[in-house]
Structure 1
Amino acid sequence: MAIIHQFPGYLIRRLHQLSVSIFTQRTQEAGFDLTQLQFAVLSVVDENPEIDQAKLSILVDMDKVTIGDVVSRLETRQLIRRLIKTSDRRARTLTLTKSGKALLRDVQPHVIKIQDEILRSLSPEERFNFVSLITKACRPSD
């Protein structure tokens, strides 16, 4: 086994590749055209109606430029609506359209199943421990 197979950074990148591949394949098979990041954006906007893009980028842990591109694509597909914020006319708030809510509702059960497939080689207890540890590893250090 090559030494890189013992490096967390390499293994995290590899798991990300597997995650993206499984997500893309399974959602396409189910008839959805959606990336993991688009799903995350739709989910966060659904949970935070009238959120602004700056806050969205923080909650999704993605830079503002990338979030702006994703939001633009979702807006073009009429899944998200950008509205001028009443308290600050320079800012825009985001809400899901009816189509966005329907897509999120329809794809969610598939995405939940996909999570099990991503970690299929782990037992339920190992999955719980893995998610706990990776969540801890993702927290900013004090």
Structure 2
Amino acid sequence: MAEPLLDIHGLPGHLIRRLNQIAVAQFMEKMGEIAVDLTPVQYSALCAVKSHPGIDQASIAGLIAYDRATLGKVIDRLEAKGLVSRKVSPQDRRARVVKLTKSGQELLQQVHPVVRAAQGDILTGLDNVEQAQFIALMQKTIQIGNESSRAPQRELGETG
């Protein structure tokens, strides 16, 4: 006879944390299969830089909803890997602007299709309609709760 579930197994916060663990594990497994050393947050940061060449670190943090201090360390690692370059912003001497290097562009071209193809695996067990519904409900909840986050998502130029 199976043990009864703990009270936490029906709590949204616990379930979201578990789904995040699963998603990260699957991402890391896929990166391992193609021998790429990249985390989900590093991938998100690279995507933000690709979409906005010359973006500053604070704006990257806002776009991917990550705290600024930790994002600086993420960018440090990406720079050490030769995937991005940084320089002082000509508009604001306190800001550092970030650009993809040729290696960063090539890596994104390599991993982007792998990441895209793996997305359905995260929601294994849900059919296409259920996956779309689940994603729409997550987006709605995130949009409504965005300001409650320690690192709210921000669009470029948006302050909070």
TM-score, length-scaled by structure 1? 0.95
Which residue of the partner structure matches residue 63 of structure 2?
59
Which residue of the partner structure matches residue 33 of structure 1?
37
1:83 CA drift (Å): 1.6
Which residue of the partner structure matches residue 11 of structure 1?
15
State the number of aligned residues.
Answer: 142
Which one scores higher on RCO, CA 8 angstroms, separation ≥ 6?
2
- RMSD over aligned Cα atoms: 1.2
**Alignment partner of 1:47 is 2:62:** no
Return the match for 1:115 from 90, 94, 119. 119
Code of the aligned partner of 1:84: V
1:3 CA drift (Å): 2.2
Q: How far, CA to CA, are the matches of 1:64 and 1:87 in structure 2?
A: 19
Deviations 1:107-129 (A, max 9, x none): 00110111111112110111111
Deviations 1:33-61 (A, max 9, x none): 11000000000110011110111111110
1:95 CA drift (Å): 0.6
Which residue of the partner structure matches residue 102 of structure 1?
106
Gaps of 5+ in 1: none
Q: After TM superposition, where is structure 1 displaced by more than 2 Å over at least 4 residues in a row?
A: none
Code of the aligned partner of 1:7: L
Code of the aligned partner of 1:98: K
**Alignment partner of 1:92 is 2:108:** no
Which residue of the partner structure matches residue 128 of structure 1?
132
